[in-house]
Amino acid sequence: MPANDLSLRSAVDVLYSDHHSWLQGWLRKRLGNTFDAADLTQDTFVRVIKARTALDIREPRPYLSMIAKGLLIDLFRRRSLEQSYLEALAAMPQEQHPSLEEQAILLQALMEIDRLLLGLGPRVRQAFILSQFDGLTYPQIAERLGVSVRTVNNHMAKAMEHCCLMQIQLQLS
């Protein structure tokens, strides 16, 4: 192991032993649940190790809480998506329900799509969903959103560009 890796490792060790319980407490306050807090604490340190930044950290607690905040948002987003998914499923006739296995795949696929859509403005997002998933034509979307067909067209182009760049970025990371 190169010297640099050794010092990086000991920096992570110090960070872990000094701030681990503090971070878990911080997360537990926000989550109200010990299990999730322990999971996210672990995930936070995994991020730190992967980013190889432990040696450069000047203010460990603000840094750790910044990463943990990102993970919290991901978790909330995931839960809220799951909730919406279950509601949508409940509205479907029972005989049309996919099998449990299909459902797991579907939910995962929906989360991945959700990540592509992250960062789009609400109007753009809505226009895109109406076109892609509800199969509406642009004139129909324009009518529903109270905008011109041209605006819908621009929304769609913007959304596709955004999703495409997000997809490339996610593939790289």
Partner 1 sequence: MNLPSEELKAIRVAARWYARLNSGITTDADRADWRAWLAADPLHSQAWQRMAAVAEQMASVPGSLASPTLSDTHQRSRRQVLRSALLLTSAGGLGWLGWRSQATQNLFCDYRTAVGERREFQLADGSTLTLNTDTSINIRFDGQQRRLELLRGEVLVTTAVDPLRRPFKVVTGPAEVLALGTRFIVRSQARGGEVAVLEKAVEVSLPATGARRRVEAGQRLDFNERSLGALRGNDVSVGAWQKGSIIAIDRPLAALLDELSRYRPGVLRWDPAIGDLQVSGVFPVDNTDLALAALESGFSLRVTRYSRFWVQVAGGDRR
Q: Using CA atoms, how far apart are residues 127 and 136, in angstroms rounded to an integer?
A: 9
Is 104 a binding residue for partner 1 by CB under 8 A? The answer is no
Q: Select from 31, 113, 145, 147 the one that contacts partner 1 (CB under 8 A).
A: 113
d(CA 142, CA 152): 6
Options 30, 69, 125, 144; binder of partner 1; rule CB under 8 A: 125
Q: Identify the residue among 14, 55, 73, 165 touching partner 1 (CB under 8 A).
A: 165
- CB nearer to partner 1: pick between 70 and 98: 98
Within positions 24 to 43, which residues make up the interface with partner 1, using CB under 8 A?
A: none
Q: Residue 144, class by beta-carbon neighbours within 10 Å (0-12 exposed, 13-18 middle, 19+ buried)?
A: middle
Residue (4 or 84) nearer to partner 1, CB: 84
Query: Residue 95 carries which DSSP code?
Result: G
As measured in angstroms, the least distance from the Cβ of 84 to partner 1 is 5
Q: Does 96 bind partner 1 (CB under 8 A)?
A: yes
80 binds partner 1 (CB under 8 A): yes
* Cβ pair 128, 117 in contact under 8 A: yes
The reply to whether 147 sits near partner 1 by the rule CB under 8 A is: no
* CA proximity to 29, closest of 75, 83, 81, 72: 72
Residue 73 makes contact with partner 1 by CB under 8 A: no
Q: Tokens representing 77?
A: 């987003």
Q: Is 97 in the site for partner 1 (CB under 8 A)?
A: yes
**Structural contact between residues 28 and 37, judged by C-beta atoms closer than 8 angstroms:** yes
**Residue 148: left if φ>0, alpha if ψ -120 to 50, beta else—which one?**
beta
Q: Please, which residue, 10 or 108, has the CB nearer to partner 1?
A: 108
